[in-house]
Amino acid sequence: MVRRLLLLLSFIIPFSIHSSLPEMVIGKESVEPGIDLVFEGAIKDQVYPSSVFGSEEESDIHLEVLANWNNASPQGSPVGGFVAYLQITAEIINQRTESKKTIVLLPHVNMIDNLHYALNTSLPGRVNDLFTVTFNIKPPETSSLGIHYDWSQEVGLSLAGQYQFTYQDLDFEKISQSKRR
């Protein structure tokens, strides 16, 4: 009995600790053809290899986009499944200094969100400044994803369209000063 309780606690405690960590939902959008997008600012994390995905020590935040099929997605798309091959960039602008940087969000996998697009990054300025972030979503290059005839007839010759979403007055200070471990 005690063993079972300890085993149960070993699963519950990590998830309850994670749920108490600050995370900012920047915005939520739904786009064609049946894709839900959730934009988040999260606590920086160790992601391997750090030379590609950003060093935790040299970053302020972990910028994320969850891209999943929804109920309006084309036939055969698993509802809640990861939408792969999207090209996602984020332009981060410091509203005080107008300094800016553009990053490419890359596929990641973890035990909470599973597959998602993200990158550890430093902010262009002080962490207590306000920021504007513009996310650009593009379909994959035609040479990186084959489109079958049935998809082309029902959806078109692309996985998705091009979209841009801008969010202003973002305060990342609490997230940037937090630690996961």
pLDDT in tens, 6-34: 444 444 444 444 456 778 999 999 999 99
pLDDT by residue (tens digit) across 154-164?
999 999 999 99
Q: Does pLDDT of 83 surpass 70?
A: yes
Helix (H, G, I), strand (E, B) or coil at 12: helix
CATH number, domain of 98, equals: 2.60.40.2480
Mean pLDDT computed over 128-134: 99
pTM, two decimal places: 0.87
Q: Give the span between the Cα atoms of 136 and 155, in whole angstroms.
A: 21
Q: Is residue 71 part of a domain?
A: yes
Domain count, the chain: 1
Q: Is residue 2 part of a domain?
A: no
Q: Is residue 125 part of a domain?
A: yes
| Owning domain of residue 54 | 23-176
CA 74 to each of CA 77, 87, 117, 142: distance values in angstroms, whole numbers, following the listed order: 6, 20, 21, 19
